[in-house]
Amino acid sequence: MSKIAVVVLPIPLNKPFHYSIPESLQSAVSKGTRVLVPFGNRKISGYVADIIETTYIANIKEVYSVIDDAPAVDKNLFELAKWLSTKYVCSLGEALSAVVPSVLKPPKRIFNNKPEHRFGINKSIRPTLTQTQQTITDAITHELKNHKYEAFLLRGVTGSGKTEIYLCAIEEALALGKSAIFLLPEISLTPQFISIIKSRFGDNIGVWHSKLSVGEKYRTWLSAKKGEIKIMVGARSSVFTPFEKLGIIVIDEEHEQSYKQDKKPTYHVREVALERAKLSNAVVIMGSATPSLESYWRAQNGEFRLFELHERIDNKQLPPITIVDLNCLSAKHKIISEPFKNALIKTLARREQAVIFLNRRGFSPWLMCQACQKVWQCHNCSVSLVYHKDSQELVCHYCGHRQPIPDKCPNCSSDHLSIFGIGTQKVEEELKKNFPQARIARLDRDTASKKDAYKNIYENFKNEDCDILIGTQIVAKGFDFPRVTFVGVVDADTCLYLPDFRSAERTFALMTQVSGRAGRSSLGGEVVIQTKHPQHYALVAAKQHDYKSFYEQEINFRKELNYPPFCGLVNILLRGKKAENVSKATDTITQELLKWKKENNAAIEVLGSTPAAIEKIKGMFRWQILLKGKADILINALMQMKNCSLPSGVIITLDIDPQDVL
C-alpha cells in the first residue's frame, strides 16, 4: 500500500488534501517537505503536514514531485505558521506560503563556484562601549546565556549608539553558537550599511531584500538553513529565515510602517518576531529614536524591558530646530522662506552639505483650471493626477496611468491651467534658481528607479561632489554623512492631516528622523521645518526633541477616542467594479456583524461602513468597515462573516491591526 500525504495548500480554504505518494517518491517525502500536486487543472506546491497509512477519501490523486531535499519548515516555523493563520485570519496554507515563499525552489541549473565562507568576527573595528551601551549589552547577553525569551525596547536618540549595541549583542549570540536575524526597513538596506556590517562579520552574513533574484534568494535561504551563514540582514520577510538555533532578532527602526505586510497574511513583523522568539527561546531587541506608540506603551506596562539612551555618542548635540510659519509668508517665499534660505547660504559658504526633505505623499503638484477649478483626476482612481515636469505628463501614482498635459480645459475651454502644490522637482527648480553655483541632486522614486542611479547619487553626495541633496523618505532614513550640517523640511504638513489616527505620530517620527541627519559630526548642524501648523503638538515636541511629551499627549488622545493600543482594530475592505454591489455587500456584512454583536453581547464597535478615504483605485470602488475591540473577540466576529454570501465581483480583504485606514 502506498502511503498518503496530508498536504496543506496555499489557498483560502483551511482544509488539507490527501494525495497518495508514488513508490518512487516514498523516501523523499517527509513531514515539512514541499511537494508539487495536481489541484483542479493546475499543479501547485503544498506542504506535507503529515503522512498517514489509509484514507477514507476515494480516488485520491498522486503527488507529482518533491521540491525540497529536506523539510522546508521545521517544527518551530510550522508552529509559527499556525499562529499566523489564527492571528491574521488566513488559512494555514496561506500562512505557510509567507514563511517559505513558493519562489524558493532549487533552480534547474546547478550553481557552481559556491562562495567561500570566511567565518570570524573582526573585533578590531569595534569601539569601546560607553557605560550605557555596556549596561544594555550586558542585560541582553544575560538573557542570551539563559536561553530565555525576552524582549527589549531601546529608545535612543539618533546617533546614540543603538546600532553598536545590536552588533555587540549579535556577536554575543554568535559566540554562543546561535544565529541572528537583523531586520531593517527596506529603505535602510543601503550599500553603506551593508558594507559596515560585512566588514564587521565577514561572510557570516546573508542579505535579504526585494531586489534579489530568485536564484540569489534560494541560495541565501539554503545557506541559512544549512548553517553556512549565521546572520541574516534583511527586510520584513527575513524574519522567517530558517535558522535552526536562533538566538536573537533585532528590529531596527521599530516604528517603521514598512514592517507591516499589506497582502495576506497581513502580519506586522514585530508581532511575528516576538512570537518566533518565544517559540525559540530567543531574544528580541527593538530600537528606535521614536518607538511606535504601541510599543512604548507595552514597555511602560512591563511587556518589554525598556532602555533609554538620551545622549548622542561623544555628547554631540542634537541640532537646534527652527519652525517657520508658512502662513506669514508671501506667495513668492512659499517654497523657501528667509530663515531656510539664510541657513542654506551659510552652509554653502562653509563648504558643508545640506539635505532638503519633502514628503511627496498626499500633496504632489497637480493641475487645475483657473476658470472653473477643475482638478485633473485619474479616471481609474479617485486621486489627483500628479504633474511631472520632465516628461510633461500627468501621472497617477496609484495605477501608473499617464496622459499628456492638455492645452485647455475640457469643461470650460479656458487655457488658464496652473500647477498647484509642490513636489521635489519644483523644489529642485527653485533651489537651482536661488543657488546657481551649488551642485544639486534629487533622490526620489523617479530618479532612483533608473539602474544604478541611487548608487551614483549616493556616492556623489558621499564624496562631496554634491552640495544639496533633495529627496523624499529615502533621504530621511539612516543617511550618516558627517558634512551635512543643514536639514531643511520644505513642508511638514503633507501627512499631518491625512484622515488617519496615526498622522500625528508619523509626522513626529518623520521630523525626528529627518532632523537626525544633521549635525552628526563635530561640525554641528541646524534644522529648519516649514509648516502651516506651527502650534501642532507633534511639531512642537519634535522641535524640542521631546519624545516623552509627544507620547503623553498622543496616548491620552488614543485613550479618549479608544484607538490602539487601547483596542484592537480590523479594517474590512470591500472592492469591486460596480459601486452598487460593493455598497450592498458592505451593508450585508455590517448587518451580520451587528446581529452577532447583539446576540453575543460582544464588546465590539462596528464603524465606518462607508466609502474609503480613497474611494476608487485602479477602477475598483472601495468601501470599508472598521472594527474595534479586543483582538480575540474581533477574530470571533470575523469568523461570522463566512456565513455572508456576497454579490459576485466583490473582493473582501481583512487587515488585522492596520497601519493606516486610507
Give the residues lining the site for ligand ADP (CB under 6 A): 127-130, 133, 156, 158-164, 313
Whichever of 10 and 365 has its CB closer to Zn ion, that residue is 365
x/- site string to Zn ion, residues 340 to 379, per CB under 5 A?
Answer: -----------------------------x-xx-x---x-
Residue in 194, 196, 399, 419 binding Zn ion, rule: CB under 5 A: 399
x/- site string to Zn ion, residues 600 to 639, per CB under 5 A?
Answer: ----------------------------------------
Characterize 195-207 residue by residue with b for buried, 16 or more Cβ atoms within 10 angstroms of its Cβ, and e for exposed: eebbebbebbbbb
Whichever of 313 and 412 has its CB closer to Zn ion, that residue is 412
- What part of residues 103-142 is at the interface with Zn ion (CB under 5 A)? none
Cβ atoms of 123 and 202 closer than 8 Å: no
Q: Which does 380 bind (CB under 5 to 8 A by kind): Zn ion, ligand ADP, none?
A: Zn ion
Cβ atoms of 554 and 346 closer than 8 Å: no
**419 - beta bridge partners?**
367
**354 - beta bridge partners?**
468, 486
Q: How far is the CB of 477 from ligand ADP (least distance, A)?
A: 11
Whichever of 162 and 260 has its CB closer to ligand ADP, that residue is 162
Q: How many CB atoms lie within 10 A of CB 3?
A: 16
In the three-class reduction of DSSP (H, G, I as helix; E, B as strand; rest coil), residue 140 is classed as helix
Q: Which does 561 bind (CB under 5 to 8 A by kind): ligand ADP, Zn ion, none?
A: none
**308 - beta bridge partners?**
155
What is the distance between the alpha carbons of residues 607 and 595, in angstroms, rounded to a whole number?
A: 14
Q: How far is the CB of 231 from ligand ADP (least distance, A)?
A: 17
Q: Does 521 bind Zn ion (CB under 5 A)?
A: no
Whichever of 160 and 261 has its CB closer to ligand ADP, that residue is 160
Q: How far is the CB of 542 from ligand ADP (least distance, A)?
A: 17
Q: Which does 129 bind (CB under 5 to 8 A by kind): Zn ion, ligand ADP, none?
A: ligand ADP
Q: How far is the CB of 377 from Zn ion (least distance, A)?
A: 9
Q: Alpha helix locations (H) across 256-326?
A: 269-280, 293-300
Contacts (Cβ under 8 Å, ≥6 apart) of 301:
none
Residue in 26, 146, 411, 456 binding Zn ion, rule: CB under 5 A: 411
Identity at 261, one-letter amino acid code: Q
Instruction: Read off the C-alpha cell for 47.
Output: 506542504
CA-to-CA dists, residue 597 to 564, 566, 569, angstroms = 20, 19, 16
Whichever of 19 and 182 has its CB closer to ligand ADP, that residue is 182
Q: How far is the CB of 618 from Zn ion (least distance, A)?
A: 6
Q: Which does 160 bind (CB under 5 to 8 A by kind): ligand ADP, Zn ion, none?
A: ligand ADP
Contacts (Cβ under 8 Å, ≥6 apart) of 444:
360, 424, 470, 471, 472, 474
CA-to-CA dists, residue 505 to 162, 321, 459, 538, angstroms = 21, 18, 32, 7
**395: closest CA among 430, 350, 360?**
360
Instruction: Read off the C-alpha cell for 283.
Output: 531574544
Q: Which does 607 bind (CB under 5 to 8 A by kind): ligand ADP, Zn ion, none?
A: none
What is the distance between the alpha carbons of residues 207 and 658, in angstroms, rounded to a whole number?
A: 28
Whichever of 318 and 489 has its CB closer to ligand ADP, that residue is 318
Whichever of 127 and 406 has its CB closer to ligand ADP, that residue is 127
Whichever of 76 and 160 has its CB closer to ligand ADP, that residue is 160
Contacts (Cβ under 8 Å, ≥6 apart) of 401:
378, 379, 380, 381, 385, 395
Q: How far is the CB of 280 from ligand ADP (least distance, A)?
A: 25
Q: Does 474 bind Zn ion (CB under 5 A)?
A: no
Q: How far is the CB of 305 from ligand ADP (least distance, A)?
A: 18
Q: Does 577 bind Zn ion (CB under 5 A)?
A: no
**641: closest CA among 582, 580, 596?**
596
Q: Which does 215 bind (CB under 5 to 8 A by kind): Zn ion, ligand ADP, none?
A: none
Q: How far is the CB of 376 from Zn ion (least distance, A)?
A: 10
Size of the site for Zn ion (CB under 5 A): 15
Q: Does 652 bind Zn ion (CB under 5 A)?
A: no
Q: Which does 371 bind (CB under 5 to 8 A by kind): ligand ADP, Zn ion, none?
A: Zn ion
Q: Does 403 bind Zn ion (CB under 5 A)?
A: no
What is the distance between the alpha carbons of residues 639 and 641, in angstroms, rounded to a whole number?
A: 5
Q: How far is the CB of 238 from ligand ADP (least distance, A)?
A: 19
Q: Which does 411 bind (CB under 5 to 8 A by kind): Zn ion, ligand ADP, none?
A: Zn ion
Whichever of 192 and 636 has its CB closer to ligand ADP, that residue is 192
Region near Zn ion per CB under 5 A, out of 207-215, 236-244, 396-404, 453-461: 396-404
Residue in 8, 99, 326, 409 binding Zn ion, rule: CB under 5 A: 409
CA-to-CA dists, residue 233 to 124, 173, 186, 244, 590, angstroms = 21, 15, 10, 16, 43
Q: How far is the CB of 136 from ligand ADP (least distance, A)?
A: 11
Place of cell 492596520: 658
What is the distance between the alpha carbons of residues 448 and 455, in angstroms, rounded to a whole number?
A: 8
What is the distance between the alpha carbons of residues 191 and 393, in angstroms, rounded to a whole number?
A: 33
Q: Which does 133 bind (CB under 5 to 8 A by kind): ligand ADP, Zn ion, none?
A: ligand ADP
Q: Does 414 bind Zn ion (CB under 5 A)?
A: yes
Report the half-sphere exposure of 6 (CA within 13 A, side-chain side).
Answer: 13
Whichever of 233 and 369 has its CB closer to Zn ion, that residue is 369
Q: Which does 348 bind (CB under 5 to 8 A by kind): ligand ADP, Zn ion, none?
A: none
Cβ atoms of 402 and 389 closer than 8 Å: no
Whichever of 34 and 616 has its CB closer to Zn ion, that residue is 616
CA-to-CA dists, residue 609 to 370, 382, 438, 571, 605, angstroms = 36, 18, 52, 10, 12
CA-to-CA dists, residue 569 to 134, 609, 637, angstroms = 39, 14, 12
Q: Does 563 bind Zn ion (CB under 5 A)?
A: no
Q: Does 462 bind Zn ion (CB under 5 A)?
A: no
Whichever of 132 and 659 has its CB closer to ligand ADP, that residue is 132
What is the distance between the alpha carbons of residues 38 and 50, in angstroms, rounded to a whole number?
A: 18
Q: Which residues bind Zn ion (CB under 5 A)?
A: 369, 371-372, 374, 378, 380-381, 396, 398-399, 401, 409, 411-412, 414
